């Protein structure tokens, strides 16, 4: 397949499409990079109709993404998934899509197929002509951009509830994402420093008493706002400072030993995927005096189901309330908002002395 014939796409997740589009553009300068459209109810409906009923929501969302971009002319689609059973879904997704009548090249970089050597071999087979060094440089550009994005959004989540001028963080965030598209690898550190200063200069009115909530759980559900009904924004509007350490940087640079150390006394072995991070971060948030934890997962996510009893024990031992939220195609926004409002109200009462126990 010749490079000039390629129309390449991939699943959407959060804002990372900006970096993936940039990465693929470096590797395939003469190809068309088709950015998947934002997730909608239509995407979810398509994915649900063509997926096994009990499969996890990320699988369904990916199928919906793939159908939408294939209908728009993509002839190469890429998928990756590491750490849990999602990493074995690629072959099934390809079979479903080809049974639907689509003709395309499916690039699945997961588990044994995710090595640099195998990725480069696949790249050459579909017409890539860049050198291995260019591939490495593009990968480094992707990683440094991802770190900058994750750091920006981490600071934004912690402070946007207290901005003196409503919308200041989101306006700066839009500028940040627009500028990130054109930043070179060498200039990324200075670029992040520039925007960090802008973040620090946003006027804030922090109340003397404020709620701090930590978000833990399954990565995709945490990182894709459509899947979790923009829960982070809802919490900010409720006046909560939000911390979420689960992001693509954690996936790229896992620290399982550190997570297990933080979870000491609760886990004897790694439970799979990011289960150790979920427990370790929950313990850390509790010891740092956070007011509550929201544990989010896709319905049927085995690693997160396995650690749920452990989190409940942490809640009892360290006296920190935990709200467990499970998301799937049948999850209703109204019901979620009711549970979220009740949880925040309980935390506020507890902080003021109205509720003495979890």
Please provide the DSSP assignment of 71-92 as one string.
Answer: HTT--EEEE---SSGGGG-HHH
Classify residue 61 by burial, with Cβ atoms within 10 Å: 0-12, 13-18, 19+: buried
Closest CA relative to residue 135, chosen from 111, 148, 116:
116
Residue 358: predicted pLDDT: 45
Closest CA relative to residue 11, chosen from 103, 89, 85:
89
Distance CA 192, CA 145 (A): 9
Residue 85: predicted pLDDT: 65
For 92, residues 6+ apart whose C-beta sits below 8 A from its C-beta are none
Tokens standing for residue 1: 């397949």
Residue 133: predicted pLDDT: 86
Distance CA 326, CA 335 (A): 12
Q: How many residues does the chain have?
A: 358
Sign of CA dihedral 97, 101, 104, 105: positive
Residue 116: predicted pLDDT: 67
Distance CA 263, CA 282 (A): 8
Start-to-end CA distance of the chain, whole Å, equals 60
Closest CA relative to residue 310, chosen from 260, 241, 246:
260
Closest CA relative to residue 84, chosen from 54, 111, 51, 118:
111
Contact 193, 148 (CB under 8 A): no
pLDDT under 70 in the chain at which residues? Answer: 1-4, 81-87, 110-116, 354-358
Strands 7-9 and 76-79: parallel
Whole-number Cα distances in Å, 139 to 4, 26, 146 = 22, 10, 10
Contact 134, 27 (CB under 8 A): yes
Sequence-ordered alpha helix ranges (H) in 17-73: 17-27, 41-49, 57-71
Residue 189: predicted pLDDT: 95
Residue 33: predicted pLDDT: 94
Closest CA relative to residue 209, chosen from 10, 312, 349:
349
Strands 240-244 and 211-217: parallel
Classify residue 119 by burial, with Cβ atoms within 10 Å: 0-12, 13-18, 19+: middle
């Amino acid at each position: 397949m010749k490079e000039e014939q390629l129309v390449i796409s991939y699943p959407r997740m959060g804002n990372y499409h900006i970096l993936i589009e940039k990465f693929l553009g470096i590797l395939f300068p003469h190809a068309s990079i088709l950015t998947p459209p934002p997730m909608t109810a239509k995407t979810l409906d398509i994915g649900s109709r063509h997926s096994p009923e009990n499969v996890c929501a990320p699988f369904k969302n990916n199928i919906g993404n793939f159908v939408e971009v294939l209908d728009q002319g993509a002839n190469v689609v890429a998928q990756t998934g590491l750490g849990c059973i999602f990493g074995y879904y690629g072959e099934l997704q390809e079979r479903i899509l080809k049974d639907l009548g689509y003709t395309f090249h499916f690039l699945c970089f997961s588990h044994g197929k995710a090595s640099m050597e195998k990725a480069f071999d696949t790249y050459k087979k579909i017409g890539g002509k860049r050198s291995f060094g260019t591939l490495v440089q593009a990968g480094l550009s992707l990683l440094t951009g991802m770190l900058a994005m994750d750091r920006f959004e981490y600071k934004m989540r912690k402070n946007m509830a207290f901005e003196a001028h409503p919308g200041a963080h989101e306006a700066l965030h839009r500028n940040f994402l627009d500028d990130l598209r054109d930043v070179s690898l060498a200039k990324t550190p200075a670029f992040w420093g520039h925007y960090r200063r802008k973040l620090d200069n946003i006027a804030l009115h922090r109340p003397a008493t404020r709620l701090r909530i930590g978000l833990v759980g399954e990565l995709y559900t945490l990182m894709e706002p459509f899947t979790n009904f923009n829960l982070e924004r809802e919490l900010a509007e409720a006046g909560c400072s939000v911390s979420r350490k689960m992001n693509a940087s954690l996936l790229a640079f896992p620290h399982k030993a550190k997570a297990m150390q933080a979870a000491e006394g609760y886990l004897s072995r790694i439970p799979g995927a990011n289960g150790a991070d979920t427990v370790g971060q929950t313990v850390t948030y509790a010891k740092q005096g956070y007011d509550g934890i929201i544990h989010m997962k896709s319905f049927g996510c085995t690693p997160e189901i396995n650690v749920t009893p452990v989190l409940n024990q942490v809640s009892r031992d360290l006296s920190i309330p935990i709200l467990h939220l499970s998301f799937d195609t049948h999850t209703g926004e109204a019901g979620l908002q009711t549970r979220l409002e009740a949880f925040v109200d309980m935390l506020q009462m507890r902080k003021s002395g109205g509720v003495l126990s979890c």
